[in-house]
Amino acid sequence: MKFFRTALLLLIMPLFAFTGAHKFYISVTNVDYSEKNQSVQIITRIFIDDMNAVLKERYGISSKLGTDNESADDRAYFEKYIRTKFLVEVNGETVKYNFIGKKYDTDMVICYLEVTDVPLKNLKQIGIQNEVLTDIYDDQQNVVHFKINGKKKSHVLIKSHTKGMLNL
């Protein structure tokens, strides 16, 4: 009987190795239009630990985003990385956006971006190119939800397809 239990345990134990939680690599971005401000407003959510990992890999810094030890350098490299990997197009032209700020919510960093001076009557197309974290995670998915002037569209952007757009 003891042999049977030991054999059963040895057969079952390896199966538990594959039941652990799989880490998902995902970010979510919402793109809306504010008629009041005549601006495209963007909120993007990214896992903090993934951002710290990419900043270490890309810039060689051990950033501490989301902790009491977060430094001005951590914030500067974070914004530099976002500006490099996250682009906004209006009517087919890449435009500059304002990095309004960021806040932390549990294990996520939430970024607020805005493209100003975009009259709705002139807005024909909005595009997002999001390569955030695709340089270190091949299975990174960057979900983008557009909601502008009653039109909605969502895209799942991956390493081989990093751009989504909404035609108005």
At which residue do the structure tokens 């270190």 appear?
Answer: 136
**Following DSSP, what letter does each residue of 125-157 receive, concatenated?**
EEEEEE-TTTTT-TT-EEEEEEEETTEEEEEEE
The fold of the 20-167 domain, in CATH, is: Alpha-Beta Plaits (3.30.70)
CA dihedral 147, 153, 154, 157 (to 10 degrees): -110
The tens place of each residue's pLDDT in the chain, 168 residues long, gives 555 454 444 455 454 444 444 477 899 999 999 999 999 999 999 999 999 999 999 999 999 999 999 999 999 999 999 999 999 999 999 999 999 999 999 899 999 999 999 999 999 999 999 999 999 999 999 999 999 999 999 999 999 999 999 998
pTM of the complete model: 0.84
**What tokens were used for 69?**
């030890």
Indicate the pairing of strand 163-167 with strand 125-130: antiparallel
φ, ψ for residue 64, nearest 5 deg: -125, 50
Residue 3 has what pLDDT?
52
CA distances from 168 to 67, 97, 129 (A): 41, 20, 18
φ, ψ for residue 17, nearest 5 deg: -65, -25
CA distance 93 to 81: 21
Edge to edge, the sheet with strand 93-95 lists 93-95, 86-90, 125-130, 163-167
Residue 111 has what pLDDT?
97
φ, ψ for residue 50, nearest 5 deg: -70, -40
Residue 55 has what pLDDT?
96
**Hey, where are the domains in the chain?**
20-167
